[in-house]
Homo-oligomer: A and B are copies of this chain.
Amino acid sequence: MGRHDLEYPKEAANTVKRLNDRGVYALETIHRIVNSCQILHVSFNTPSQPFPVILPMIGQMGSFDRPSADLGDPLDLYLHGYVSSRIMNLGRAGSEGEEAKGMPVCVAASHVDGLVLAISSFSHSYNYRSAVLFGHATLVTEEAEKMYAMELITNSVVPDRWRNTRLPPTSAELQSTGILRVRIASGSAKVRAGQAHDDKHDMDNEIVRDSVWTGVLPIHQTMSEPLASPYNRVDVPSHIADFAKDFNEDNKQQSLDAAKDQ
C-alpha cells in the first residue's frame, strides 16, 4: 500500500455511476490492475475523423524521478511504440509549445476472473478487475528516461528479462523506438468478485431452482511450456522458469479467490 492510501479525486470523468459500490479510486488498486495487464487499450482523437481510435499497446506505470516509488504513489504511465506511428506523431505534436499539456488519452486495463452464471440471464455477470486512466501523453525525449522506461516495460513482460538480453541497446534501436509518457489526470477502477446472485422471485421459484445450474466458471491466463526458437542454444533459464510457475499459480489463485462468496 502507498504511504497515505492516496485516491484519485472523484470528478465527472472518472466517477463510477452504475453499481457504484464496485467503484475504487485507490491509486494502489488502480495501478496494480494496469501493471498486471499484458495489453492496455489506449484511446485518442485524431483531427481527420469523427471516431476516437483505440490502439492495443504495452505499457507500465513508474516514476523516473523517483524509481523507488510504490504502486500507491503518484506514477506516470509509459507506453511503448514505433517512433513514426500515428500516436507517436500526435504525442510529439502535443509536446510542442510552452502551453502544451500533451495529447488527451484514455487508457483501459481489464482482467476477466470468471463467468458468473445465475438463474436469470439478466443476473449473469463476470468477475473482473478493470481500470481506466485519463491523462496527457507526450513523447519522451531524454535518453536516460527512455532507457528507464524500456527497462521498466521489458521487465513487466518477463521479470528480470532486461539484463538477460543483449545490452546495451544500439543507437538505431533507441532511435526507432518511441516512448510516450502519460501524466495522469484521474482514474478509477471497477471490480466484481463473488458468487452468483439472483432476485427474490427467482430464488422463490422451485422449478427454476431445481433446473438451472448457478455458480462461477473461474478463468485465468495460463502459460504452456516454453517453446525454444530454431536458433536458441540455451536451456530455459530460471528467470523464465520461475516466472512461468508464478504466473500460472498466481493467476489461478486470483480467479479462485474472486469466486468465493464475499
Contacts and interface: CB of A to CB of B under 8 A. Distances in A.
Contacts of A222: 219-222, 252
Contacts of A213: 164, 226, 228, 232, 234-237, 240
Copies in the complex: 2
A216 to B, nearest CB: 5
Per DSSP, chain A at the interface is: mixed
A167 B122 CA distance: 10
A120 interface: yes
A24 interface: no
A23 interface: no
A67 interface: no
Interface residues of A, number: 106
A218 interface: yes
Contacts of A119: 165-166
A173 B201 CA distance: 12
Interface string A37-67: 0110101110011111111101000000000
B112 A212 contact: no
B224 A244 contact: no
Contacts of A193: none
Interface in A103-161: 104-108, 110, 112, 115, 117-122, 124, 126, 128, 130, 132, 134-135, 150, 154, 157-158, 161
- Return the 5 tightest CB-CB contacts between A and B, nearest first: A52-B52, A54-B108, A43-B43, A215-B228, A41-B41
7 contacts: A13-B51, A166-B205, A196-B231, A198-B231, A203-B231, A213-B236, A214-B229
Given A41-B108, A55-B108, A120-B173, 10 more contacts: A17-B85, A43-B43, A43-B53, A58-B126, A121-B154, A211-B234, A215-B227, A219-B221, A222-B222, A222-B252
